[in-house]
Amino acid sequence: MPDSRVNYHVETGDYRDLARALTRVENDLTGAQEILHLLDPSPGCIVLGITGPPGAGKSTLVNGLINQLSQENKRIAVVAIDPTSPFNKGSLLGDRIRMTEQFNKPNVYIRSLATRGSLGGLSAKTIEIVDVLKSAGFDYILVETVGVGQSEVEIVGLADITVVVLVPESGDEIQSIKSGLMEIADIFVVNKSDREGANTFANNLKKLVQQKAGHVPVIMTVADRAEGIDELLAAIAKHSKSENTHRPFLLAEKAWRLIQKRRMDGIDKKKLQQDIAEASKNADFNLYKFVENLV
């Protein structure tokens, strides 16, 4: 039976109701499925994925985007995906600490979310949380991923527009940028572009983009001084008006991860660790036989 105390509609604009709904969905509490089934995503909401290697300045760039969009009276939600703690499985909350200046803005809502074991930061819960936010009347949802190598490409299954953030120090490695990263980027940002070698790196990146990915903008920014943010937002606005030919692929990727989650729902990882620890004491222990018996 549905819980009469739960507000199953999240479009009221009340952040307390929204927070309660998100908590229910994130933790599969009573009413979570009813909330998801009643979602009515806003067609005008733009989901912006911000990814790139650690240290590229993604959080600072997100801060700059929030500041500019706030001046334009836009409503912004931020999903800051943090590495899951191996001990309590919760988020380490690092990005929320770095976004403290945004907490008191009435048009900004920030939610930190643990990766829950997904290397690229895109778990089924991320998909559900973003879809709830899309129904809550926001103009932009900014999703900042952990950024850990090739698994960054997972963001393509979630975001309408994917921004890949790099820094000039990547210059020596530009030829080794993974093709998957080239394929998912709708916009490249060369952040910290006041550093030595930034122009050369950006020019080399533009040449590489033209060879492999066609017309993808390369924007130079200095996020901590808000330089280049206007140009980045202009590129985002231009891309948002173009036809999204990847929509069926995006929906299939999201469905795939939701199906994976459903099929894993009966697996308790803590109990699995206990069972395997006991089974592995046997001299004839075989991991593959153990898994076969489990599934």
Residues 253 and 284 in one domain: no
Give the highest mean pLDDT range of 86-100, 113-127, 152-166: 152-166
Residues 243 and 98 in one domain: yes
**Is 23 contained in some domain?**
no
What tokens were used for 93? 């909350």
Residues 226 and 99 in one domain: yes
**Is 284 contained in some domain?**
yes
Instruction: Give residue 208's domain range.
Output: 41-257
Residues 278 and 176 in one domain: no
Residue 235, pLDDT > 70, answer yes
Residues 276 and 169 in one domain: no
**Is 29 contained in some domain?**
no
pLDDT at 88 (0 to 100): 42
Residues 74 and 132 in one domain: yes
- Domain CATH for 52: 3.40.50.300
**Is 61 contained in some domain?**
yes
Q: Tokens 């920030």 correspond to what residue? A: 110
Residues 290 and 244 in one domain: no
61-104 pLDDT tens trace: 999 999 999 999 999 999 988 655 444 444 444 445 556 677 77
Residues 6+ apart with CB under 8 A from 158: 47, 49, 122, 126, 127, 130, 143, 250, 253, 254
Q: Could you tell me the pLDDT band of residue 288, with boundaries at 50, 70 and 90?
A: confident
**Is 196 contained in some domain?**
yes
Residues 186 and 220 in one domain: yes
* Rounded to 5°, angle at Cα 145 from 140 and 151: 130
Residues 220 and 277 in one domain: no
Q: Domain count of the chain?
A: 2
Contact call for residues 19 and 77 (beta carbons, < 8 A) = no
φ, ψ of residue 55 to 5 degrees: the values are 90, 0
Predicted structure pTM score: 0.81
